[in-house]
Amino acid sequence: MYPPLTREQETLRDRVRDFVRAEVQPVAGVYDQRENPEDCWPWELIEKLSEAGLRTITLSQALGGGGIDYPTTAMLVEELAVGDMGVSVIMAQVWKIEQLIEALATHEQKERLLIPFRDDPRGVLAICATEEHAGSDNVLPFNAPGAGSMMRVEEDGSEYVLTGTKRFISNGNRARLYVVAGRTDRERGVGDGTTYFLVPRESSGIVIEHVHNKSGERLVNNAIIRFENVRIPKSNLLGALNDARSDRNYFRRISNVYAAASVLGVAVAALQQATAYARERVQGGKPIIEHQAVQLKLANMAIGIESARALIRRTAESAQHDRDFDFALPSMCKVHATDVAMRAALDAAEIHGGLGLMRDYRGGAGPEKLVRDASVFLHSDGTQDIHRLRVAEKIKAGRPALAE
């Protein structure tokens, strides 16, 4: 992997890999198959991640975390997803929001809101942007008044009052602290009229309206959350007014990179399962790995994984270090890793023949689950087409890399 992993990164990767083998893989299929989505939520794994010091590893060392950087975080997100993409997404949300809050919060906000979260072994975080009429318009973004998130924000003395409903929110019914996008300037577009607020779960007026029943990524819960005149102190404004969606905001650098790392882990699991099965399954008088048609599928998976990982690594390094960040890169990561994982999961299922369809194969964590998991990122974190459009926008604007 370029640049080469440091000794610390290798040690951390191996710790997470061992955790995945010992704790996640044995139970992922069991949780996934539960009917009620709320029963799929793995508190025991979150508590174990806390115990291992991993849940808060992206907090700075000053705040008691490991202070790991974006490339290292992306690597750990991928490792978790090899065991289960839902667990990876739960932690990707927590880790990226920890990094977001650390980057933008005041000292007082960190003391008041981050420390209690840190000390709660079940502490998870969520970010609330999407609304019924505001999905792709937030991501592209379609920067016109009246489009994108319209959560109402009113000032009342020393407080803000938030009103509106968010949907599809990962960790939405479980988080103890939300980052909520509110429309603070209705005359401007969502890109420059939106502000982040820190909203504790115990605030009065927060109603979990529904927990979605998803086909894949079942170990993470997604919820519709209604904010009914939720009052928060003005000191809960995160970062700067109207800055939530700006390119200055670090979050837009890294969110899609972690999404890409999650879905890449599914591709890795697909290659691992397909290779192991192809070695043992005999048809045509030899193990099917000796048939070139099967070899081609395995080779394509490996090519896709290496290229997606390299792109993720390059983007995470650049997000960490470069002032002039190329905002086409995170979209490229998300599109490429999702395409790679979707193809890999389908090919792994085909290599398994009839078993590739069976929900009860491999304790419920076989290729059938991988296909469902990979498909989630066709829809989540911005659709594939919306990210292609974001790349196209940069090309139209004369993306420097193309002119070199």
Ligand X SMILES: Cc1cc2nc3c(=O)[nH]c(=O)nc-3n(C[C@H](O)[C@H](O)[C@H](O)COP(=O)(O)OP(=O)(O)OC[C@H]3O[C@@H](n4cnc5c(N)ncnc54)[C@H](O)[C@@H]3O)c2cc1C
Residues that bind ligand X (CB under 6 A): 127-130, 135-136, 139-140, 142, 168-170, 214, 217, 222, 376, 379-383, 385-386, 389
Closer to ligand X by CB, 94 or 169: give it: 169
Q: Which of 261, 234, 271, 255 is nearest to 98 (CA)?
A: 255
In the complex, residue closest to ligand X by CB: 135
- For tokens 């369809």, the residue is 357
Q: How far apart are CA 25 and CA 6, in angstroms?
A: 26
Q: Taking the complex as a whole, how short is the minimal distance between the CB of residue 172 and ligand X, in angstroms?
A: 7
Closer to ligand X by CB, 244 or 298: give it: 244
Closer to ligand X by CB, 23 or 131: give it: 131
Q: Taking the complex as a whole, how short is the minimal distance between the CB of residue 295 and ligand X, in angstroms?
A: 34
Q: Taking the complex as a whole, how short is the minimal distance between the CB of residue 160 and ligand X, in angstroms?
A: 19
Q: Taking the complex as a whole, how short is the minimal distance between the CB of residue 280 and ligand X, in angstroms?
A: 34
Contact 182, 231 (CB under 8 A): no
Q: Taking the complex as a whole, how short is the minimal distance between the CB of residue 384 and ligand X, in angstroms?
A: 7
Backbone angles phi, psi at 351, to 5 degrees: -60, -30
Closer to ligand X by CB, 245 or 297: give it: 245
Q: Taking the complex as a whole, how short is the minimal distance between the CB of residue 136 and ligand X, in angstroms?
A: 3
Closer to ligand X by CB, 10 or 39: give it: 39
Closer to ligand X by CB, 76 or 376: give it: 376
Closer to ligand X by CB, 113 or 179: give it: 179
Closer to ligand X by CB, 87 or 169: give it: 169
Rg (CA), the chain: 21
Q: Taking the complex as a whole, how short is the minimal distance between the CB of residue 276 and ligand X, in angstroms?
A: 29
Contact 276, 92 (CB under 8 A): no
Q: Taking the complex as a whole, how short is the minimal distance between the CB of residue 24 and ligand X, in angstroms?
A: 19
Q: Which of 338, 334, 324 is nearest to 399 (CA)?
A: 324
Side chain identity, residue 171:
N
Cα dist. 252→166, 209, 316, 329, 396 in Å? 19, 28, 12, 11, 20
Closer to ligand X by CB, 179 or 278: give it: 179
Q: Taking the complex as a whole, how short is the minimal distance between the CB of residue 9 and ligand X, in angstroms?
A: 27
